[in-house]
Amino acid sequence: MNTLTGVGVSPGVGVGPAHVLAYEAIVPAPGSRHGGTAEDAAAELALAGRALERVAADLEGRGARAGGEAGEILAAQAMMARDPGLADGVATLVGAGTSAARAVYEAFGHYRDLLAAAGGYLGERVADLDDIRDRAIAVIEDRPLPGVPEGTGEPYVLVARDLAPADTALLSPDVVAAFVTEQGGPTSHTAILARAMGVPAVVACPGATSIAQGTPVLVDGASGLVRPAPSDDEVTEARNAAAAREAVLASATGPGTTADGHAVPLLANIGGPRDVAAALEHGAEGVGLYRTEFLFLDRAEAPSAAEQEAAYLEVLDAFPGGRVTVRTLDAGADKPLAFLPPGAHEPNPALGERGLRLFRTHPEIMDTQLAALAAAAARSSARLQVMAPMVATAEEAAWFADACDAAGLPSAGVMVEIPSAALRASDLAVRAGFLSVGTNDLAQYALAADRQLGALTGLQDAWQPALLDLVALAAAGAAERGRPCGVCGEAAADPALACVFVGLGVTSLSMSAPALPAVRAALSRHTRQQCHLAADAARAASSPEAARAEARSHLPGLAGLAL
């Protein structure tokens, strides 16, 4: 079998026999109904309630045994299982005649769709929900629960379509040599727990579950390579390369700078207070993007000012004296919110009333959020910056900056996610105090390629020369007004692209925390001049592949990092 490639999310090299989890979740048939009488309904409802409670108690019990980060994650999952909104959903369905198992399946479906549509950190919570659902249905149907072997012999490589925290929380490096999953991303709980446990992990690795049970597997949690049946030489080589790479990464510490001392602050993208620990662990100098949608999700109405203030303060307090950039609510399209639907039916929500545009029709939601942010900032020594998503024009930027001024917020900026904003960046920067390029959406709009469509990944490639041109325009427009311009899209996590962005004039980089050490090391090994040359070469190319290759030819330090 050939080497498989995924995303390395917990560094190190692990070798062991594959243990492939083949649990197939039960899907109760659509339309499955109970007997139909009031007694039947009461009995089914009680059955569903007991199942959800048993799952919650089991998760809590495992959490208490695991302790630490795993304990917190499982306690949060137990709360999801006891969610009153979910119980109401089950009761409504059972009341209308649906069987307990199907009602649980459908009630979870609603939350699942919301999270999946949000993508990123929120999207990765879908696996946690699915796990609760599958466990509850197994209890209702009296079938065995999903689980992993305790492991007595040689540590194994645990391979699965996806893993739930309940599966992994009680494992240790004596039992498991590495994790490999076909699904999941850098902020999935598999990734978080693997890092906390110090076990190498690769996620988003297609084909992994077709590895035969018991086959020896080599897993490189940094490069994302998974090699079935490796030779002894391959194992030695991978271990040596990993050790060398770790040494290089560990040697680059402190604030981000190029080899010739040009400072490029390295910041973290977070979804809430829960991500702060990882940001600090990886040396984030602050937060470059706090996605506040998480607070608003799954609500009948917006969270109160007091609740918002507490969440913002918790993040601000983690970075005393540092910079924390909070993005105001970015609802709509790929981040739908139940209580904030667009005004009319939209055939094309990505081009609809979303992001800042929704604040125009619901100014009270913006005012509450800005007031909560101002109140949190007043109680913290962190430097709060607030920015608006999906800004298209200078007029919108000015409108938002005025609202921030009125709320007493010291620093208001805008995201550059729409080509018009990049093209007219210097107009936006008249009132916006800083710009932050969101490459995920900027690529989507520049290449007319839906970010949620896997089939269009090639067009979403951040090395597309057209996208690089837009980033260059945004940085130049900001510089014309003496304003900083960062990048906070996922592209900043690519060490080579990070160097190119610096060469294009970008002044700070924000990314998911685990990517910080490699980007810090890549910058420290190249001068600003090398970054300029790499950027010029990438922009002169006419395809993403050529742009990547041309840029890398000016960035020799990447080879030493095995990147």
Residues lying near ligand PEP in the complex (CB under 6 A) are found at 120, 289, 291, 330, 417, 438-441, 488-489
Q: Least CB distance from residue 448 to ligand PEP, whole Å?
A: 15
What secondary structure letter does DSSP report for 325?
E
Residue 441: strand, helix, or coil: helix
Q: Any residues with CB less than 8 A from the CB of 556 and at least 6 apart, and which?
A: none
59 vs 421, beta carbon nearer ligand PEP: 421
Q: Least CB distance from residue 176 to ligand PEP, whole Å?
A: 32
10 Å Cβ neighbour count for 259?
15
Q: Least CB distance from residue 470 to Mg ion, whole Å?
A: 14
99 vs 440, beta carbon nearer ligand PEP: 440
489 binds, among Mg ion, ligand PEP, none (CB under 5 to 8 A by kind): ligand PEP
357 vs 525, beta carbon nearer ligand PEP: 357
289 binds, among ligand PEP, Mg ion, none (CB under 5 to 8 A by kind): ligand PEP
Quick one: angle between helices 100-118 and 84-95, nearest 10? 130
Catalytic-residue membership of 189? yes
Q: Are 175 and 198 in contact (CB under 8 A)?
A: no
433 vs 489, beta carbon nearer ligand PEP: 489
Catalytic-residue membership of 488? yes
84's enclosing H/E stretch is helix 84-95
Q: Least CB distance from residue 92 to ligand PEP, whole Å?
A: 32
CA-CA-CA-CA torsion for 148, 29, 208, 205, nearest 10 degrees?
A: -110
439 binds, among Mg ion, ligand PEP, none (CB under 5 to 8 A by kind): ligand PEP
Q: Residue 383 is which amino acid?
A: R
Q: Residue 470 is which amino acid?
A: L
Alpha helices in 252-292 (DSSP H): 276-281
166 vs 488, beta carbon nearer ligand PEP: 488
Near Mg ion by CB under 5 A: residue from 44, 134, 396, 441 = 441
Kindly state the tokens that stand for 243.
């050790």
Q: Are 557 and 522 in contact (CB under 8 A)?
A: yes
Cα 2 to chain centroid distance, Å, stands at: 29
Q: Residue 530 is which amino acid?
A: Q
Of 361, 366, 376, 510, which is closest to residue 438 (Cα–Cα)? 510
Phi, psi of 104 (to 5 degrees): -65, -45
Q: Least CB distance from residue 172 to ligand PEP, whole Å?
A: 35
| Residue whose structure tokens are 């009488």 | 37
167 vs 441, beta carbon nearer ligand PEP: 441
**Given the residues 205, 404, 485, 488, the one annotated as active site:** 488
Q: Are 415 and 391 in contact (CB under 8 A)?
A: yes
Q: Least CB distance from residue 500 to ligand PEP, whole Å?
A: 16
Give the CB-nearest residue to ligand PEP: 438
Output the 3-class SS for 353-412.
Answer: CCCHHHHHHCHHHHHHHHHHHHHHHHCCCCEEEEEECCCCCHHHHHHHHHHHHHHCCCCE
Residue 544 CB-density burial (10 A; 0-12 exposed, 13-18 middle, 19+ buried): buried
Q: Least CB distance from residue 119 to ligand PEP, whole Å?
A: 7
12 binds, among Mg ion, ligand PEP, none (CB under 5 to 8 A by kind): none
Q: Least CB distance from residue 440 to Mg ion, whole Å?
A: 5
**Given the residues 189, 282, 526, 554, the one annotated as active site:** 189
Touching Mg ion, residues 404-423 (CB under 5 A): 417
Cα 542 to chain centroid distance, Å, stands at: 30
488 binds, among Mg ion, ligand PEP, none (CB under 5 to 8 A by kind): ligand PEP
165 counts as binding Mg ion under rule CB under 5 A? no
438 counts as binding Mg ion under rule CB under 5 A? yes
Residue 435: strand, helix, or coil: strand
Number of residues that bind Mg ion (CB under 5 A): 3
Phi, psi of 348 (to 5 degrees): -140, 80
Q: State how far the Cα of 561 lies from the Cα of 526, in Å rounded to an integer.
A: 12
Please state, in angstroms and as integers, the Cα–Cα distance from residue 256 to each residue in 159, 283, 555, following that order. 36, 10, 17
Kindly state the tokens that stand for 102.
């199907």
220 vs 441, beta carbon nearer ligand PEP: 441
10 Å Cβ neighbour count for 49?
16
60 vs 490, beta carbon nearer ligand PEP: 490
155 vs 389, beta carbon nearer Mg ion: 389
Q: Least CB distance from residue 409 to ligand PEP, whole Å?
A: 20
Q: State how far the Cα of 401 lies from the Cα of 202, in Å rounded to an integer.
A: 42
Applying CB under 5 A, the residues found at the interface with Mg ion are: 417, 438, 441
| Residues recognised as catalytic | 189, 488
